[in-house]
Structure formats: C-alpha cells, structure tokens
Amino acid sequence: MRKMSKVNKENNKSVSREIAPDIYYIEVGKGINRSNIFFVRSGSSWVLIDTASANCGRLIRKAAESLFGANIPPALILLTHDHPDHAGSALELARMWNCKVYVHPEELALTTADNLSTLEKYANPLDRRIILPLLRLMPQRTIESMFSRNSLKDVVQAFDPATTVPGLPDWKYIPTPGHSPGHISFFRASDRVLITGDAVVTADINSFLGFLFWSLRINQQRVSGPPWYSTWNKQLAKESVAALATLEPRILASGHGVPMQGEAIAQKLHVFTNRYLVSSGKADKNAK
C-alpha cells in the first residue's frame, strides 16, 4: 500500500489523508465510536460521505476547510446509513453548512423516527439486548424529546435510486442492505474506488482479539464483514458483500479500519466473501 499524503494535521487524532485523486478520509470520534468519513471533490464543489458520531462537527469542518478553503460548504452530505457513529453529526453539519443530507429511501424512516416502533422494526442485536430495554425504562416524555432532538427530518431527503448519485455524477451507488435496511456503498469505476460504510470493513472487529486491537488503535488491515452486533439482517448483509466483491475494487475504503489499496484487494475480497457466505456460529445466531 502506497504512503498516503497528509493534508491536515491538527493533532494525532485528526489527519486527513488522500486515498485517490480528489478523495480524502479522516478517522473521527472517540473509542469504539470512532469511524471514517470521506471528503470527495467533484468539479468545483465537494461532497461529504458520513458524519461520524455526535459532536464531531467542528473538527470535520476544520478538516474540510484545510482541504477546500474556508466558507466553502459541501454541495450536500451523503450517509451510507443512519447508525450513530456514521450519522451522529449530520444534523449539526447540515445546519452549519445549510445543506441537505441524502439517504437511500429505505433508510429514511430511521433518520426521521419519532417513536420506538421504527427502532423496534429495524432492531439489530445491540438494539434488542441493550438499547431498547433501556429506552423502555425511560419516561415517555424523555423518549419523545430524545427522538425529536436527534431526528434529521428538517434536513434529510431520500435520493431517487433511478438517478445518479447526488453531487457525484462520476460515481454510482450500490445498494448494500443488511447492516441497516437502506445501507448503501459508493463506487467510482474509473479507478475502482469503493467506499463501503459498514457493509464491508477493513478491520477485524468481529473477533475478540481483532476488536481489542482496533479498540487500542492497533491497525491490522483485514477484510471483514459488518459488525454482527449492529447488523439488522445477516442474510442480506451476506448478499451485499457478494455484490461488492463483483466490483473488484482496487481501493477499499470502509467506515472502520485503514483503507486498503492494490490489485490484490479484489482477490482478498473474493476470498473473504466465499468464507463469509458459508459462515455460521455465534455471529449468525445473534444477527437477524
């Protein structure tokens, strides 16, 4: 993997790196809530893909300013999915930049949920075992306030799947449901860059040791499936991994882990896919 050029360095936790022409990424957030976000230049404008966890807006804005200049907001924000470590700062940034947030139509219900029923409908193992039981203990007024405070209803919009990717005409979106109902990935065919969100990640966070190493910021690049504990539908997730493998990417950039580059990436993704499709055990039993 070639050395990635450093673009901005405020501190050791905020280093923007170029992974391909006009594509930069930065890891944002704390502890196990950290995730990667992507800045993609398109013509005279740019687009932000994902927004990390809550309260990361100022750091993301500073990174964007170092790349594109001050007072140059993105054309829009794209979300691969609505989990809090990917959409947590979406509302803050949309208001800050006065721009829209776009999601797949199947993800829209999660971004605008105003009660527990939506969360119950699309619950993953973490939701069923921890989040929902805790929420049900709270007063109804507190729950309503929480949903209202975090809803993206004033800034979010579902894009038309029949059209090109909003703001990125040279890219195409890949439907990759499973980790969430409307999860999407993005692919630039000209140089085979694939941004996968959590449909496929480049850190082994599904094993105890892999998760421990990743938690300690010991980066071990490895193609892995979506985190089982927050995956809504395991079978759909498997089918999505298989769909991504057919693209044979040269650059694999995911929501967690250091991006992987090189002609060998396609083969590694195929090998993982074959293993993942026949996988069984605890992860399968715990994911719907």
| Interior/surface letters 230-254, b for 16+ CB within 10 angstroms, e for the rest | bbbbbebbbebbeebbebebbbbbb
Predicted confidence (pLDDT) per residue in 45-80, tens digit? 999 999 999 999 999 999 999 999 998 999 999 999
Structure tokens at 60: 């993301």
Question: Which of left, alpha, beta for 74 (phi over 0: left; psi -120 to 50: alpha)?
Answer: beta
Backbone angles phi, psi at 67, to 5 degrees: -90, -45
Average the pLDDT over each of 14-23, 112-121, 210-219 and give the range with the smallest value: 210-219
CA distances to 15, 190, 232 from 179, in Å: 28, 27, 5
Q: Which residues pair with 169 in a beta bridge?
A: none
Q: How far apart are CA 260 and CA 88, in angstroms?
A: 25
pLDDT at 74: 98
The DSSP secondary-structure symbol of 156 reads E
CATH class of the domain at 6-112+151-286: alpha beta
**Residue 3 predicted with pLDDT over 80:** no
The per-residue pLDDT of the chain, averaged, comes to 90
Averaged pLDDT, 264-286: 77
Helix (H), strand (E) at residue 123: none
Give the pLDDT band of residue 285 (cuts 50, 70, 90): very low
Averaged pLDDT, 155-179: 96
Give the global pTM.
Answer: 0.91
Of 28 and 220, the one with more pLDDT:
28
Predicted confidence (pLDDT) per residue in 85-96, tens digit? 999 999 999 999
CA distances to 56, 152, 176, 220, 264 from 223, in Å: 27, 32, 16, 10, 12
**Residue 113 predicted with pLDDT over 90:** yes
Structure tokens at 261: 């580059």
**Residue 2 predicted with pLDDT over 60:** no
CA distances to 2, 82, 187, 239 from 150, in Å: 39, 11, 29, 31
The proportion of the chain whose per-residue pLDDT surpasses 70, expressed as a percent, equals: 92
Residue 17 DSSP SS3: strand
Domain boundaries, the chain: 6-112+151-286, 115-150
The proportion of the chain whose per-residue pLDDT surpasses 90, expressed as a percent, equals: 82
Give the pLDDT band of residue 14 (cuts 50, 70, 90): low
Averaged pLDDT, 81-109: 97
Torsion, CA 277, CA 279, CA 283, CA 284, rounded to 10: 70
Of 152 and 207, the one with more pLDDT:
152
Q: Which residues pair with 261 in a beta bridge?
A: 251
Q: Between vectors from CA 283 to CA 277 and to CA 286, what angle results, nearest 5°?
A: 120
Closest-CA residue to 253 (of 207, 187, 208, 205): 187
Give the pLDDT band of residue 215 (cuts 50, 70, 90): confident
